Structure 1
């Protein structure tokens, strides 16, 4: 990506369709290597109204590569990373790492001592490379299927005395 311009900016309402497309394609094309077709079909569903409601009150960033939506990430004030998805066309290019750095900076500014997430099988290795540790594997029900993911955390600030 050395000749491409990567920009991380706050989410705006006009990003709705791009985030949904990134989410669906990341599951259908990237995560499909680690989940069965039935699991992918159960996971890769979006209700637009619910999607909009769920985004309210969260810090969300968009990653753009040469003005093309490449990924997005959501962060809750308690340090929870609810979503971090990259469009399959931009996998392995540093987009996810740039989004995570943005989240870490926001968490530090807000005084969150740690970040935590429920990483998919596909994302687990990425989070480990970024300093997260696995707390536990878990099985999550999703529209009649059971999806494996991993509770993971990263300490980003030492507790104050």
Structure 2
């Protein structure tokens, strides 16, 4: 399957939303965002992740004005800004495809921030910066599973989703993975299909007593090529 990189603008209106983890309360969101974005600006030195072979501070010039997107690995201190990305992606974008009840179950307003921090540190994602702000993130596990893939509701259609997907494919190739899999929301399925993923099964997982449908999707990487 070819891996297109120039026609993603059409698909990015679908945005990219997967995963089903709860988030902190709305009352915490503004303070978390401010604190997180301040921390995210600190420390721009290049780093090398020995597990994935990922070199920090890759750069992509997008088509949106003077904005430049940078992809790097997660750093402790990014958690609050990534919370804002996650919360806005679900509440501002996924709400087009899910009911209010489903959105509240998926991203409720009562989860302890420590739970979020533990989860984000555990998946160790790639993050996207634009003009010093964190606007998107996604992970790639050693199994080839993509657990989270989110673009901020305020920064859709700016190339962040494409850059994340390219980063995932590059690292999958480096790790010689044979396939990629993910449980993908209704909202994100067209985006993933554009990059060669196929639906294996439509699912109806229950989250906090509410069914929040998604699909198990897979992409086979021929000869370990992304």
What is the aligned partner in structure 2 of residue 29 from structure 1? 92
What is the aligned partner in structure 2 of residue 40 from structure 1? 103
Q: Which structure has more strand as a fraction of its residues?
A: 1
Partner residue of 2:80 out of 4, 14, 17: 17
CA deviation after TM superposition for structure 1 residue 48, in Å: 2.3
Distance in structure 2 (CA, Å) of the matches to 1:11 and 1:139: 30
1:43 and 1:142 in contact (8 A); partners too = yes
Distance in structure 2 (CA, Å) of the matches to 1:23 and 1:57: 16
Per-residue CA distance 1:60-119 (angstroms, 9 max, x = gap): 111011111110001110000000000011112210110111111111111111111011
Determine helix, strand or coil for the equivalent of 1:12.
coil
2:81 and 2:134 in contact (8 A); partners too = yes
Distance in structure 2 (CA, Å) of the matches to 1:9 and 1:126: 22
Q: Does 1:70 align with 2:135?
A: yes
TM-score, normalised with respect to structure 1 = 0.92
Task: Count matched residues.
Answer: 159
Larger Rg: 2
CA deviation after TM superposition for structure 1 residue 147, in Å: 0.6
CA deviation after TM superposition for structure 1 residue 21, in Å: 0.8
Gaps of 5+ in 1: none
What is the aligned partner in structure 2 of residue 3 from structure 1? 66
Distance in structure 1 (CA, Å) of the matches to 2:219 and 2:112: 31
Gaps of 5+ in 2: 1-63
CA deviation after TM superposition for structure 1 residue 2, in Å: 4.6
Distance in structure 1 (CA, Å) of the matches to 2:79 and 2:122: 15
TM-score, normalised with respect to structure 2 = 0.67
CA deviation after TM superposition for structure 1 residue 158, in Å: 2.6
Partner residue of 1:111 out of 176, 182, 190: 176
> Which structure 2 residues correspond to residues 81-160 of structure 1 after superposition, within 5 A?
81-158=146-223
- Structure 1 stretch displaced more, 122-131 or 39-48: 39-48
